[in-house]
Amino acid sequence: MSPTILVADDEPDILELAQTRLEMAGYETLTAESGEVALKCFFTERSDSVGGDTQP
């Protein structure tokens, strides 16, 4: 089983790009379009890593 990465970003194009590149590299991906969705996914799904952008 490949490692799974949760990717969070509020920009759909960036989210799709990250998902595509990670899957091309052999990772499974979970995606979230907001911080709220990412938190729900973080606590309900199994992921090995989390990535996303941050805003001040």
Q: Could you tell me the fold of the domain covering 4-52?
A: Rossmann fold (3.40.50)
CA distances from 44 to 11, 13, 21, 26, 56 (A): 23, 25, 24, 22, 27
Q: Which helix (H) or strand (E) holds 23?
A: helix 12-24
Q: What is the pLDDT of residues 4-47, one digit of tens each?
A: 999 999 999 999 999 999 999 999 999 999 989 999 999 999 89
Q: Where are the domains of the chain?
A: 4-52
Half-sphere exposure of 50 (CA within 13 A, CB side): 15
Q: How many residues does the chain have?
A: 56
The predicted model scores a pTM of 0.86
pLDDT band at 55 (very low <50, low <70, confident <90, very high): confident
Task: Kindly tell me if the per-residue pLDDT of 56 is higher than 80.
Answer: no
Q: 53 or 49: whose pLDDT is higher?
A: 49
